[in-house]
Structure 1
Amino acid sequence: MAFPTRRRVVTTALATAAAGTLIPLRTAIASEAPPARIHRPLLHAHAHNDYLHSRPLHDALAQGFTSVEADIFLVDGELLVAHEATDLDPARTLSALYLDPLLARVRANHGTVFRDDRTPVQLLIDIKTDGVAAYAELDRQLRRHRQMLTSFQHGRVRPGAVTAVISGDRAARAPMEAERTRYAFYDGRLDDLGTAATASFIPLISSSWTGAFGWLGTGPIPPAEREALRAITAAAHREGQRVRFWATPDVPGPEREAVWAELLAAGVDHLNSDDLAGLARFLHSHGRHAR
């Protein structure tokens, strides 16, 4: 099966697509008000660059998001959360912002992230540099939090309240594949579809939307691109894998909603956004909550 490999130069106005979004992050974050109540889990909601919100993790969970993303750098033996090296803060560690609060919630809720709801949460961890060394430290920290984590042991997956999926620096793949017991899984790419790597190692297939498709929500999606999109999701789902696209339009308006609707119709599992409230409203309006 031939999947799209379209590559094009992105204009200055769309330059942030390389980071996985088409909306200025400050605008998206500033427009959000703290949620008044915890919403039902949203199966398709992925908080891209989650750590840039005023309350990392907690804002997303309060909106019902079931997937959050954190970028990490290994600095002096610690995993710091930031998008750029210039933004590093020794107080903003992966444990402090994500692992410890998630474990506290799981303990408080007797084994689940969401109270009275067993919907699992995905923690997508994007390693920005030093993949092998960063994963070694990450593996150590994940093992400290293994009580809540989905694991791979003795050749099978054991579900947990939180599933850690490792993305970013591809050098982390080799040490992960070599482990007989893992507390994390790998974020694949379109090239991994149909290969020997199964869902027990690669449960998620991610790709840049603008790297594979040209349609950005204006007018109807070209039939060939719709067919290609549905072929991708069908191929992944046959293998028990989920699909996510980053760099989808994220400026509020009909174009963004058109792309999101097309992704849902094609069976894409995670919609990627920095606008928590906007994506939550869209998914609720389409009845895409857990129950």
Structure 2
Amino acid sequence: MIRRILTMLLALSATVTLLPAAAQAGDRVRPLTRAHAHNDYEHERPLFDALSHGFTSVEADIYLVDGELLVAHDPEDVVPGRTLQSLYLDPLARLTRSGKVRKLQLLVDIKNTGAATYTELDRVLRSYRKMLTSYRYGRVSRDAVTVVVSGDRPRELMQAQRVRYAFYDGRSTDLNSGVPASFIPLISDNWNNLFTWQGAGPIPDAERARLRQFVRDAHAAGQRVRFWATPDVPGPAREAVWRELVAADVDHINTDDLAGLEAFLRSLPPSRAAA
């Protein structure tokens, strides 16, 4: 009898322990399809903080150091063992198997030795292929996690592959280039390279028209749009820029402020919050 009671208490304790972990994984949070976690690895709980706020896109910078794909913003910040696998790929493999993550973009920004780093990334990704969107002999097969490579991207190497488990992050120069979305599904660029408006006062008519045409052209080619270096200090200016991005139907809004973007998007009608 005592043994049975102890067994029941242990089972209850395990259940109570698992519930917060499930909530951390984001399975009870309505996904925010526009929310992109810039430099996600700098948060206290990489990946899990973003998921808990409903984010569906996260960004990790990587360096190839002694054969490891180490996650850090600057080379002096790399720490052995803090790998792309341990912070992102392994947790995502568990979460996708349990059905807690069904659609997520993992933007991997290569910071050094582009071709060598991508070659190792490609080798690593093949071990996780069961959860990854892939390109095979001209066709894209969708799955729970889509890896997009940014930064020092070895374009020719990637284009030559007949089977890939990652895709290419384009720039504004790739817009209307005729390169298919099966290679470039995402067009990203520095906001300040294209626009002068920083949220103070109304956006100039010419810049609003340019922004909306940019998005229309990308969407016509089956590509998504992301801008980095948009204003990210809390306040009316940032909110004004975010409202213009939503109005233009920009797919991914870039931020380091997870709670701030979540609150903004959840204040919108669901049809506007979703890309």
Identity of aligned residues (%): 63
Shift of 1:196: 2.7
User: What is the alpha-carbon distance in structure 2 between the residues aligned to residue 39 and residue 255 of structure 1?
Assistant: 27
**C-alpha separation in 1, matches of 2:144 and 2:266:** 23
Residue ranges of structure 1 left out of the alignment (5+ in a row): 1-33
Shift of 1:195: 1.2
Deviations 1:12-31 (A, max 9, x none): xxxxxxxxxxxxxxxxxxxx
Distance 1:96 1:227 in 2: 43
One-letter amino acid of the structure 2 residue matched with residue 108 of structure 1: S
Scaled by the length of structure 2, what TM-score is found? 0.88
Aligned to 1:147: 130
Conserved? CA contact 1:157–1:200, under 8 Å: yes
Q: Which residue of 1 aligns with 2:59?
A: 69
Alpha-carbon offset, residue 197 of structure 1: 1.1
What is the RMSD computed on CA atoms of the aligned residues? Answer: 1.7
Aligned residues: 250
Q: Report the counterpart of residue 55 of structure 1 in structure 2.
A: 45
Measured in 2, the distance between the counterparts of 1:217 and 1:74 equals 38
Aligned equivalents of 2:241 and 2:261: distance in 1? 12
The residue type equivalent to 1:260 in the other structure is W
Q: Does 1:238 align with 2:220?
A: yes
1:263 maps to 245
Shift, 1:47, TM fit: 0.1
> 1:154 deviation in Å?
2.3
Q: 1:168 aligns with which of 151, 172, 175?
A: 151
Distance 1:184 1:256 in 2: 32
- Structure 1 segments of 4+ aligned residues over 2 angstroms from their partners: 34-38, 287-291
Query: Which SS does the other structure have where 1:260 is aligned?
Result: helix
Deviation at 1:290, TM superposition (A): 5.7
Higher RCO (CA 8 Å, separation ≥ 6 residues): 1
Corresponding residue for residue 42 of structure 1: 32
* Structure index of larger Rg: 2
Q: Match for residue 93 of structure 1?
A: 83
Q: Could you say what secondary structure the match of 2:188 adopts?
A: strand
Residue 125 of structure 1 aligns with an amino acid whose one-letter code is: V
Match of 1:136 among 97, 119, 137: 119
**Structure number with higher helix proportion:** 2
The alpha-carbon deviation at position 36 of structure 1 amounts to 11
Please, what TM-score do these two structures have when normalized by structure 1?
Answer: 0.83
